[in-house]
Every structure is written in C-alpha cells, then in structure tokens.
Amino acid sequence: MTTDLNFSSAFFEQFECPICFEYFKLPIHLCSLGHSICNRCKERSRNCPQCRQPFIQNSRNISLEKIFEQVSKRCKFSECSSEVTLDQWHNHQSECKYNPNIKCLECGSSEEFLINHLVRNHEYKEISMEQNECLRSFSGPMASWHSNTEWPKGIWKFGEEYLVVKAKTHSGVFHVYLYRISKNLIAISLEITNQDTGACIKFKGDIPHISDYVDLSTSPHFNCEIKQLMTFIKVQEDEQDTYKLSVKVKKKDIVMYIEEPIIEESHLDEFEEHAIEELPLDVFEDRIIEESSLDDFEV
C-alpha cells in the first residue's frame, strides 16, 4: 500500500473527478479527448461534461484505476490516524468519529453546512420566525389529514438558531419532528386553539440535537391523534377543501417547568372538561422511567 507521505496534493488531484470533485468512483471512463470521468458522473451524462465530446464506448482508464486502488491517504481530521484508501475516502469521512460535521437526516451525507444542503437537495424551505413566538399552519385537503401524508419540510429560523421541522400524518396520528442545529438547548411549545370554543392543547419539551437523530421511529417528537385534532382543523375561508391547523410556536431557551404526565386516551373526557391541557414530548416518559430506576442504588 502506498501512503501519502511522499505525495503532494497535486498528486492526489489526479484522482479527483473533474465533474464532482470527489475521488473517482470506479470504473474510470474516458472521453475521446482523454478526460477521465468517474462512473457516477458518466451515468448522469451522455457527453463529456468538460469538452462535450462523446464518451468512447466501453472505454476505461485502467492504468489510472490500478494506481488509484493502491493509493491511500491519512484521514483529513487531525485527531484521526486512519490511513484510508481513496475508494473508501468518502465513506470514511462521513463515518469518521472525529468528523465535526452533521449527518444529513435525509441522505446520510456528512455536511458542514447542513441547512444549505437541506434546502438545495431535499426541498426544505427556510422560514423566518418573528422573535420567539410565531404562528405556523399546516393546510391541505381533508384527505391529507386522514391518509398517510408527508407535509412540506421546513427550517424554522429564530435569529441565529435553526430548527429542522418534519411533519407527517400516519395511521391516524399527526407527528411533528423538530431538531435543533445549534448547541444551545432550546425548548419549544406548540399550541393549538379552537377560536370558537376556546379549547386549547399545548405540547412542550426540549428539542433533541440533530446529531442525536437515528430515525424518525425512535425520535422523541410531538404527536396527537387526528380525531383529537379535528375540532381544531378549520376549512380555509378563501379556498374550499383546504383544511388548516394553525399552531402557535413559542421558543424558550431552557425548560423551566415541571412536566405533566402524558394524557392517556381513557382520560379524554377529563381533557375536554379542562379545556387546556399540556402534552409533553414522548421523551419525558422515558426520563420518568429512568428516574425511578434510581431506587436501585438506595441503601
């Protein structure tokens, strides 16, 4: 195995695809003017993206491939001592435990600027939130409330702090997933009110950091049964068959309240009487369980 000890950066540049600027994805293809293009970029284009000449049928740059397979390089994160072959380079950088970047929750790639990446590649929309309180809404035809629906994805900007927002309706439950990008702890409350009856449901909790994201099924998040939400979903005045749920979003820097236990279905009658109830994030249930296990250590 050849290591990078004696090689300059100009040497490694020879293994970068001129189109995607990443190390080649094998096999390496040639155009009629001799440009080397990685397999990933070849599949996306008919002509050489550099000179517009057609690719030669079945052409390969085999000698470059052979050298490529022999070369390895020290991982780019200074604390990491791994020697990485160039074909594993991209995978290693995204998996490397010294990588300070954030893993994209949609495609898994490791991103220094996750917000830009989400907007450009995954149809997230940036939304400025006025101060620390803002009204947001989810609207769509009635069917989108009753069938399985992925709502448009967003990034809520509170000044310099960003929250990644995903919402879906699934099996009769409305889910809202929030992740913070900044290191600072953030608590969010979501409040929905029925203007006619004054009834109100409030959810609140600490927002998990995006780096703790594993998958949606295990993420703590806000959720509520659709049948419970129905009295809060209103037909939009100007558009027929558009049903809207308005949510008041409030941001707090830290949580300064004691959690109420989550309401169970059997308490729904009680819930209606009280009109205002607070539902915490699922995560608080777990915490309560953890705390009770402290007894194990009591003498």
Structural contact between residues 32 and 40, judged by C-beta atoms closer than 8 angstroms: no
Q: Least Å distance between CB 26 and Zn ion?
A: 11
The CB-of-75 to Zn ion minimum distance in angstroms stands at: 3
* Distance of closest approach, residue 38 Cβ to Zn ion, in angstroms: 3
Phi, psi (rounded to 5 degrees) for 101: -75, 170
Dihedral in degrees, nearest 10, Cα atoms 199, 238, 240, 123: -90
CB-wise, 14 or 132, nearer to Zn ion?
14
9-19 burial: b if 16+ Cβ within 10 Å, else e: eeeeeebebeb
Which residue shows structure tokens 């990446």? 117
The least CB distance from residue 105 to Zn ion, in Å, is 8
Handedness of CA 178, 110, 211, 262 (dihedral sign): positive
Q: How far is the CB of 167 from Zn ion (least distance, A)?
A: 18
Residues of this chain that bind Zn ion (CB under 5 A)? 17, 19-20, 31, 33, 35, 38, 41, 48, 50-51, 53, 75, 80, 82, 96, 104, 106-107
